Structure formats: structure tokens, C-alpha cells
Amino acid sequence: MEAPASPRPRAVTVVGWIWLVLALIRLANGLLGFFIWRFGRLDEGIPFVPIEALKSAHAFGLEWTLRHGAAIFAFQIVVASAVAYSAFALLQMKPWARIAIIVVACLGILLTVGISVFVAVATMALAREASAGAMQARVAGLSAAVVITLVGLLLFGGTIYLLRRREVRAAFGLPPA
């Protein structure tokens, strides 16, 4: 399917560049994380914190995350590459890219909520085991969960809103919603 001949709306330019830059940052983060995990031997534990010390937090996936870091970073690299390509195609006004970015944004909302819940629950569990500073740990963890939620909803919700606006749909040759 050919790209529409309409000029590119500012909303598409803003969303496309934001997503392209963020995807490239995540790609670099995934590559760096993979190399640090692989050659830093983090699968054997965090320096000064043996993997056995994390077993008490096993139910929250901390030990599992360290043990499967390579797969997690490889997945991040693949997803970031696909999103970067989609954002680039969105800047070229490819209709499939608009749909792809909206789908990724919807999944991003779900992931944001999941990560926020994970941070809040893991922080509460670890704070219960901490003797000193448990209240500060709870406040910090819950604050982090709130910030993650707000930033995620702003980015992902804003993307969905902008790409579903009437002028954007018209530029892609779609009827108004």
C-alpha cells in the first residue's frame, strides 16, 4: 500500500521522532545491558550481593531476572529495533506504521501498569525484611511506581490520542473516527 500524498501532520512528526529516539535509546540500552550482563557475570549475582541473598525475593522475580538477563536483553534489542523501524516508517507516512505504533502504545500501557505493580509489591516485600529505613523504602517504592505509571500513561496514552486525531486520520486517508 502506498503512502498517502497528504503532507505529514505535526502530530505524526512529533510522535515519530519521539518514538524513534526512544527506541534507539532502548536499543543502545539493550546492547549495553547485554554486554554488561554477559561479561560482567551478573548471572552469578550482583557484586557484593550473592545470588543466594536474593532468594528471599524469589517470588518477585528478582533472582529469575538476573538468571535470564541475556534473554531479557535480547528481547529488548529485538523489540526496540522493530519499534525504531516502525517509527521511521511512521515518519514516511506508511499507514501500517501508524497502526503498529498504536498497538505498541496499547501494550505499553499494560506493561506500565504491570511494572508499577511489580515495583510496588517488590518494594513492600523487601521493606518488610529491612529493619532500618523500612518506611523510607516503602515511600520510595510507591513513589517510583506512581512516577512510572504517570510517565508511561503520558507517553503511551498521548501517542494513542495524537495518532487517532481527525487530522492524522485524514492525512492517512482514513475516515474520521
What average pLDDT does range 101-125 have in this prediction? 90
Is the pLDDT at 26 greater than 90, yes or no? Answer: yes
44 or 17: which carries more pLDDT confidence?
17
DSSP string, 30-44: HHHHHHHHHHTTGGG
What average pLDDT does range 157-170 have in this prediction? 95
60-94 in b/e burial notation, b at 16+ Cβ within 10 A? bebbeebbebeebbeebbebbeebbebbbbbbebb
pTM: 0.79
Among 13-17, 133-137, 140-144, the range of highest mean pLDDT: 13-17
